[in-house]
């Protein structure tokens, strides 16, 4: 699979939050609800790069770095109350409001990785507030995501969407719990299908003349059914736990 995110236009302070270009290619291995994503090209620095891999299941994502023999339980780190305690201690608060989520079925079909797909489109909008003693910022976010999904034997419901979402949010996960719940509820309309291809166009708006538009795409290019050593789906013994905050 390959994932690419790139800014397509922007102006003003909003570009500081939205101006992130990233791209990586990876080999994904899935066994039931668990999976592994080996990065073979590019990456999302400083989080992971070529030679690293991501382990994921229904509880979250773990980044594993063989070169340094360390791992980061990413989902746990992003929801770690200490991060938000540090923000609050620094006088910074963050909130999300005005959440609007909708999902529609789109007519037509396409073939991805050899499988006929169904097409869905999710529209998402919300406002984000960052309040600190030295500044107050309000941002509005609008995004439209197209999903091409198929029922693939052995591939569980949308296992790659969890991994594709890394880096797409401009704020810590803790501030997005209500948003995530609504998105998951809408995504359930796609049923027991895997997203083989996605395209998201997002717009981050701070105000008149201050906005950033980005486009993110991902696509599975080849699906093979082969035996998998489930020992490769766990963190190797002896690896040291690292932290996002150092």
Entry pTM: 0.75
Please report how many Cα atoms fall inside a 13 Å half-sphere around the Cα of residue 24, on the Cβ side: 25
Residue 36 and residue 194: Cα distance in Å, rounded? 15
Query: Is the per-residue pLDDT at 51 higher than 80?
Result: yes
Mean pLDDT of the chain: 79
Residue 177 pLDDT class (50, 70, 90 cuts): low
Note whether residue 95 is domain-resident: yes
Which pair of tokens denotes residue 228?
Answer: 């998998």
Residue 65 and residue 45: Cα distance in Å, rounded? 12
DSSP 234: S
Note whether residue 81 is domain-resident: yes
**pLDDT (tens digit per residue) in 127-140:** 888 777 666 778 88
Note whether residue 228 is domain-resident: yes
Query: Is the per-residue pLDDT at 170 higher than 50?
Result: no
Range of the domain at 211: 2-241
Please report how many Cα atoms fall inside a 13 Å half-sphere around the Cα of residue 159, on the Cβ side: 22
Note whether residue 246 is domain-resident: no
Range 175-198 average pLDDT: 78
Residue whose token pair is 């929801």: 79
If one counts the domains in the chain, the total is 1
Which pair of tokens denotes residue 232?
Answer: 């490769």
Comparing 162 with 30, the larger pLDDT belongs to: 30
Note whether residue 187 is domain-resident: yes
Note whether residue 129 is domain-resident: yes
Residue 70 and residue 183: Cα distance in Å, rounded? 32
């Amino acid at each position: 699979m390959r994932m690419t995110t790139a800014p397509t236009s922007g102006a003003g302070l909003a570009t500081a939050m939205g101006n992130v270009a990233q791209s990586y290619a990876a080999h994904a291995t899935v066994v039931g609800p668990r999976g592994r994503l080996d990065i073979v090209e590019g990456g999302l620095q400083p989080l992971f790069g070529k030679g690293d891999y991501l382990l994921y299941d229904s509880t979250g994502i773990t980044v594993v770095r063989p070169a340094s023999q360390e791992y980061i339980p990413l989902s746990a780190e992003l929801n770690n109350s200490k991060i938000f305690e540090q923000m609050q201690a620094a006088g910074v608060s963050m909130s999300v409001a005005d959440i609007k989520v909708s999902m529609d079925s789109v007519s037509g079909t396409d073939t991805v990785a050899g499988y006929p797909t169904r097409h869905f489109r999710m529209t998402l909008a919300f406002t984000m507030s960052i309040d600190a003693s030295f500044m107050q910022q309000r941002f509005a976010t609008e995004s439209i995501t197209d999903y091409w999904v198929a029922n693939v034997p052995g591939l569980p419901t949308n296992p790659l969407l969890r991994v594709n979402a890394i880096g797409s949010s401009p704020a810590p996960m803790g501030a997005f719990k209500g948003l995530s719940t609504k998105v998951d509820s809408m995504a359930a309309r796609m049923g027991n299908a895997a997203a083989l291809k996605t395209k998201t166009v997002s717009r981050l708006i701070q105000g008149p003349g201050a906005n950033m538009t980005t486009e993110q795409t991902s696509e599975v290019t080849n699906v093979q059914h082969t035996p998998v050593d489930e020992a490769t789906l766990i963190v190797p013994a002896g690896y040291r736990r690292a932290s996002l905050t150092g």
